[in-house]
Amino acid sequence: MADQKVISRQTGVEDTQYKWGFEFDIESDVAPKGLNEDIVRFISAKKKEPDWLLEWRLKAFAHWVNQGDDASPKWAKVKFEDIDFQDIIYYAAPKSSDDAPKSLDEVDPEILEAFDKLGIPLDEQKKLSGVAVDAILDSVSVATTYKDMLKEAGVIFCPISEAVQKYPDLVQKYLGSVVPYSDNFYATLNSAVFSDGSFCYVPPGVRCPIELMTYFRINEANSGQFERTLIIADEGSYVSYLEGCTAPMRKTHQLHAAVVELVALKDAEIKYSTLQNWYPGDKNGEGGVYNFVTKRGAARGENSKISWTQVETGSAITWKYPSVILQGDNSVGEFYSVALVNNYQQADTGTKMIHIGKNTKSTIIAKGISAGKAENTYRGQVSILPGADNARNFTQCDSLLIGDECGAHTVPYIEVRNPTAKMGHEATTSKVNDDQLFYLQQRGIDLEESNYMIINGFCRGIFKELPFEFAMEASQLLRVSLEGTVG
Amino acid sequence: MQEASLVLNKYEEDFDNLSSISPVWSSNLRNKAMDTFREIGFPLRRKGNEKWKYTNARPIADIEYSSAKFEEIDLDDIKLIAPWHESWINLLFVNGHYQETFPGNLPTNVQISNMASNDLAANLTSNIGGIMDYSDDGFAALNTAFMSDGPIITVPEGENAGIVVNLIFFNQGLSDTVNYPRVLITTEGNSIVSVIENYVGGSSDRTFTNSVSEIYVGENATVNHYRLMDETDDTHDVGYGRVRIDTNGTFNSRSFFRGSGIGRYDLNVSVEGENASCDLQGLYFTNGHQHMDNFINIDHVRPNGQSNLFYKGILAGRSRAVFGGTVLVRKEAQKTDSIQSDKNLILSPHAEVDSKPALFIYADDVKCAHGATAGNIDADTVFYMRSRGIDLEAASRLIIYGFAGEVIDKVEIPELRSYLAESFLTSLPSHKFEF
Amino acid sequence: MSNSEKLIEIKNLHASVAETEILKGINLSIDEGEVHAIMGPNGSGKSTLANVIAGRPGYKVNSGDIVYRGSSILEVAPEIRARAGIFLAFQYPVELPGVRTWQFLKAAIDAIRKENGQEELKIRDFDKLLEEKRQLVQMDPDLVRRSVNEGFSGGEKKRNEILQLALLDPSLALLDETDSGLDIDALRIVSHGVNIFKGPEKAILIVTHYQRILDYITPDYVHVLVDGEIVRSGDSGLAMELEEKGYDWVKDTAGKEVTP
């Protein structure tokens, strides 16, 4: 690291080292720990971002600082030790292939065992572990083929840092338009320091020819903790996006504070599916990932539609509310979720459906499964604003408890300010019925398999909303996650 | 800031005056409560204060209310605005102060005492404050500090004569005054009693009613509880119910609310004994600029408990109704069976309902469910009626009455049921659905 | 009854449900090729007997034994008993929301095959087999595509039980009040399914309150269970006598109080 001198910003020294206005070496691959304005500038400079984006980051940072030390929200039903925000490295360059494991032999055997159980093919296993992929292997050419297909259709799908360079107008127009930096504590943090993420734009009238997966982006295995994703579906278009996978991703960082913004214009549809199986911590609940994510979709145009489908089985703490703002008349919002928590995991998750336009419709189906000593809370908000004539909402949240040391909680907020709206909410909590278990056992199916079949049946309504490959993986993931919870 | 301290000064002044005439047994209790009120004040902080999320208590906190004085009232006037029957044991309180008892002609072993009395047996007073935990609640602390007259109703073991105790708390509406009704009901094993609590008011001056009722349901006992809140637009009414149910006990409650300025009912039922059960039904109706907040919490402590919560609301004008509360099922409360339901009929485009029924479950062998609906009547129902020759307005009326009637029908005392049908139903706004 | 080892022998069985003793010393042997009927007034313990043999949780054996194919099964888990050839047609078949009938039946049949050292059925073969059995019980093809028993009428549920009986082909079939709630046509179909299943290597225990089903499935032996004990045994003629004279008659002759 080069010498550091404190230079006053007003003197505007034009030294290559200091012209971005911070104190340390631009060539460095890793920022020093801590969060201050310099770090924000450093990140922006590393990515060679245009001024408008740096300005935006700085505004977010200023807002974060203004909130004060104790501003992090504490209302959710999740308990965790306070995060020391100064003890985090906010920038680390993507690993070169030199650092990657050379073969699967160098990969954590526990991860490999999990891959096997989930039936993930060898090639995929390599990619997911970040193993340097041989150019001859099929997986590379597969990735290339898909990229060609997208190009032909006119769909833009690339890392957000690339989009900022190549399509700055698009990014500038929509970034922060659904989740402004002032929205909530973790979104503010993300806006200041986000490093990477997906950007997708689907032109008018185009039906994106393939399921988009983060899988195909280069460097996915090393994705940072402050991801920022922006997906725009222009008029009349359709896109289905898959995030995550069933492989237990051992994120290097404990805090994952991503932001996902979706914008659907007139007659457009976005389907966003998530399979989350991050490291939940060991049997004593130590060391797992904290998944604090802000996800929101703006169904801006008339007849637009946004669906969120999620299967959350990992993370020590899951804290997220994928939401839809139903601005356009006749717009539709959907939320389908299975949240499974075991051992010491905690989940406080749900959705917000905000009905603004006329004839809007929202459907919420949430299933929670609690086992071990885990706590699972569904928290959902349905707001029907005064202008939302004929709004319709249907909510069904069901909880299943396995064992008597876990908890399942349901906290709905229902705000209705329009008399023509119709809103219905139902929730049930129960355990796997002994009679059901016995019925299956009497047909020769062992206890663990019987338990799995019943719970899989419980989640059926959600799994069928997932794209086909994901649905198969989700069932398998459920099976693996339920191991050891009965008998 | 100047205004705030003026307000609090009035409470201090009134507290001193009260302390000089209060019975000795109550001084400890009241002093501690006043200390708490001084420390925590009214629940004004909305952000992070889940219990008061949708209700702004500032209009109450900002006014300099002084304790209302007693004034005798003519019985005939009361009979116009509260339910009444000669066979009941009727107790009349005016502005929070005891006027008289009309004991009815049923012989009874039910013992009725007044909290303001100096010579009360310890076993009667020991339960006061036993379940009303005011440590984080300014209004409850205030009421406890200002306890004076208040019925202590003790129902002995085995008492089963169909007794109805009718408590009328009449608020005369003297301008800028506050009154503090306080009730204690203790029922012993195998007894059955019906109690009606009426919070009714007359004039349209600015007043505030702050009430607390504590009810102990003994082993195998049944308490049939009715609560009417029927004050005026300028009255704010914040009331508390705290109930503890012992083994095999049953608590059936039917509450009826006609909106006041700010109305709030904070009911907490502890289903404490095994096999205990509660059935809580409510009907609230708001109009104009009224605000009604029902905060109902049920705590399942032991196994085999049952709870049924069924509230319905009709909203008109620019009013606002809030329904919140939690059902908590503790780890030991296996085989709990709990249903919560909140249904709202919204009659005007400016009315708003906020519903937040939460479930916190820690036991697995349970059956718990809740549901909430809000909206207008569906077009098909109205069309069906019209196809049978009923006009739009009549159809609307029938539907609204039917909606409200479901709760009124649950009232087991026939005279009370007719009173409610007449006074509540007929006061519902006439409405014409726009279909 | 022959003297050689029976398929199943119940020896002086005492069993309780929720701390109340229901079976108070049952002695019964059923051999391959035999059809036994257990009749009795409500509360006599008929269903309890069937459930205890199947190993239902919540039913506690206080003393006595159940010996199946020469070994005691008291400590054997329900699914192992099932794979050994014991089938219970439930009195109240359970609904399994979200669990596809097809998936459930295949899992069951594969479990039994695996136990017997056979390979899992190929999908095409299973489909054929299922279709054959579906037709046997004349079940609506739509129902097979749905979740198990979800939205089925009482009669459809019972038919589903017999479809499973036909498909899984057990050695001992325990039919727990299979006839209750069925109309004549459904009864005929269900009985037909049972009769097709019947054979020299199969044993059937029919638990019933009414004689009606025995018109369709002829029992070799009829036992009357009153207050947890078998008070009378006989051949199919006994069922007719009961029909004419009612359970009180048994009481009189057996010296036991009968509450119908």
Task: Please report residues of C whose CB lies closer than 8 A to that of A487.
Answer: none
b/e string for A189-222 if b means 16 or more Cβ within 10 A?
Answer: bbbbbbbbbbbbbbbeebebeebbbbbbbeebbe
CA distance A348 to chain B (A): 12
SS3 content of chain C, % helix, strand, coil (to 5): 40, 25, 35
CATH topology of domain C8-254: Rossmann fold (3.40.50)
Q: CA-to-CA distance for A183 and C20, rounded, in angstroms?
A: 62
Lowest mean pLDDT among A165-174, B349-358, B369-378: B369-378
With beta carbons less than 8 A apart as the criterion, state whether C65 and C72 touch: yes
Report the pLDDT value the prediction gives residue A324, as an integer from 0 to 100: 97
Interface contact A452, partner C, CB < 8 A: no
Report the pLDDT value the prediction gives residue A487, as an integer from 0 to 100: 61
Report the pLDDT value the prediction gives residue B50, as an integer from 0 to 100: 79
CA distance A424 to chain C (A): 21
Asked whether the predicted pLDDT for residue A33 surpasses 80, the reply is no
Asked whether the predicted pLDDT for residue B370 surpasses 90, the reply is no
Report the pLDDT value the prediction gives residue A93, as an integer from 0 to 100: 65
Q: What angle do CA B226, B229, B234 make, to 5 degrees?
A: 175
Task: Please report residues of A whose CB lies closer than 8 A to that of C176.
Answer: none
Residue A273's nearest CA partner among A329, A322, A224, A313 is A322
Examine chains A and B and say if they touch (3+ CB pairs below 8 A).
yes
Q: CA-to-CA distance for C121 and A233, rounded, in angstroms?
A: 46
Distances in Å between the Cα of A361 and the Cα atoms of A69, A382, B244 are: 40, 11, 42
pLDDT tens digits for B180-222?
Answer: 999 999 999 999 999 999 999 877 788 999 999 999 999 999 9
Contact partners for chain C, using 3 or more CB pairs closer than 8 A, are A
**Confidence band, pLDDT 50/70/90 cuts, at residue C1:** very low
Report the pLDDT value the prediction gives residue A249, as an integer from 0 to 100: 59
Lowest mean pLDDT among A133-137, A464-468, B377-381, C94-98: A133-137
Task: Please report residues of B whose CB lies closer than 8 A to that of A412.
Answer: 355-358, 372
- Give the DSSP H/E element, type plus range, for residue B212: strand B207-217
What is the percent of chain B where pLDDT is above 90?
50
With beta carbons less than 8 A apart as the criterion, state whether B110 and B193 touch: yes
Would you call A401 and B364 a contact, using CB atoms and an 8 Å cutoff?
yes
Average pLDDT over chain A, rounded to an integer: 80
Nearest-by-Cβ selection for A409 from B354, B361, B364: B361
Domain assignments of chain C as residue spans, ordered by start: 8-254
Mutation site for A-interface testing, chosen from C53, C59, C79, C148 by largest number of A Cβ within 10 Å:
C79
Asked whether the predicted pLDDT for residue A13 surpasses 50, the reply is no
Nearest-by-Cβ selection for A410 from B331, B347, B358: B358
Residue A474's nearest CA partner among A239, A216, A276, A280 is A276
Asked whether the predicted pLDDT for residue A372 surpasses 60, the reply is yes
Q: Sort A143 into a burial class: Cβ within 10 Å, 0-12 / 13-18 / 19+.
A: middle
Task: Please report residues of A whose CB lies closer than 8 A to that of B344.
Answer: 416
Q: CA-to-CA distance for B171 and B233, rounded, in angstroms?
A: 13
Average pLDDT over chain C, rounded to an integer: 88
Lowest mean pLDDT among A459-473, C13-27, C201-215: A459-473
DSSP state of A130: T
Q: CA-to-CA distance for C241 and C245, rounded, in angstroms?
A: 6
Minimal-distance CA residue of chain B relative to A401: B364
What is the percent of chain A where pLDDT is above 70?
77
Q: CA-to-CA distance for B416 and A241, rounded, in angstroms?
A: 61
Asked whether the predicted pLDDT for residue B327 surpasses 90, the reply is yes
Interface contact A381, partner C, CB < 8 A: no
With beta carbons less than 8 A apart as the criterion, state whether C39 and C242 touch: yes
Q: How many CB atoms lie within 10 A of CB A93?
A: 12
Would you call A414 and B334 a contact, using CB atoms and an 8 Å cutoff?
no
- Give the DSSP H/E element, type plus range, for residue A292: strand A290-299
**Confidence band, pLDDT 50/70/90 cuts, at residue A19:** very low
Nearest-by-Cβ selection for B331 from A404, A413, A414: A404
A214 or B365, greater pLDDT:
B365
Report the pLDDT value the prediction gives residue A7, as an integer from 0 to 100: 34
Report B:357-416 residues touching A (Cβ under 8 A): 357-376, 378
Contact partners for chain B, using 3 or more CB pairs closer than 8 A, are A
Nearest-by-Cβ selection for B354 from A402, A407, A414: A414
Tell me the average pLDDT across A284-292.
Answer: 76
Domain assignments of chain A as residue spans, ordered by start: 9-87, 107-436, 437-480
pLDDT tens digits for A341-352?
Answer: 988 889 999 999
Task: Please report residues of A whose CB lies closer than 8 A to that of B49.
Answer: none
Nearest-by-Cβ selection for B369 from A421, A424, A427: A427
Q: What angle do CA B177, B178, B181 make, to 5 degrees?
A: 145
Nearest-by-Cβ selection for A429 from B331, B348, B366: B366
Lowest mean pLDDT among A193-207, A208-222, A260-274: A208-222
- State the alpha helices, DSSP H only, in B346-425: 379-386, 392-408, 414-420
Residue A59's nearest CA partner among A37, A42, A33, A38 is A37
B267 or C114, greater pLDDT:
B267
**Confidence band, pLDDT 50/70/90 cuts, at residue A195:** confident
Q: Which amino acid is at B178?
A: V
Asked whether the predicted pLDDT for residue A473 surpasses 60, the reply is yes
Task: Please report residues of B whose CB lies closer than 8 A to that of A417.
Answer: 351-352
Task: Please report residues of A whose CB lies closer than 8 A to that of C54.
Answer: 442
Asked whether the predicted pLDDT for residue B385 surpasses 90, the reply is no
Asked whether the predicted pLDDT for residue A284 surpasses 90, the reply is no
Nearest-by-Cβ selection for A445 from C58, C79, C95: C79
**Confidence band, pLDDT 50/70/90 cuts, at residue B105:** low
For chain A, which residues lie within 8 Å of any Cβ of chain B, measuring from their own Cβ?
74-75, 386, 399, 401-431
Asked whether the predicted pLDDT for residue A21 surpasses 50, the reply is no
Task: Please report residues of A whose CB lies closer than 8 A to that of B357.
Answer: 412
Report the pLDDT value the prediction gives residue A144, as an integer from 0 to 100: 57
Asked whether the predicted pLDDT for residue A355 surpasses 60, the reply is yes
Interface contact A461, partner C, CB < 8 A: yes
Average pLDDT over chain B, rounded to an integer: 88
Q: CA-to-CA distance for B368 and B357, rounded, in angstroms?
A: 12
Asked whether the predicted pLDDT for residue B154 surpasses 80, the reply is yes
Asked whether the predicted pLDDT for residue A130 surpasses 60, the reply is no
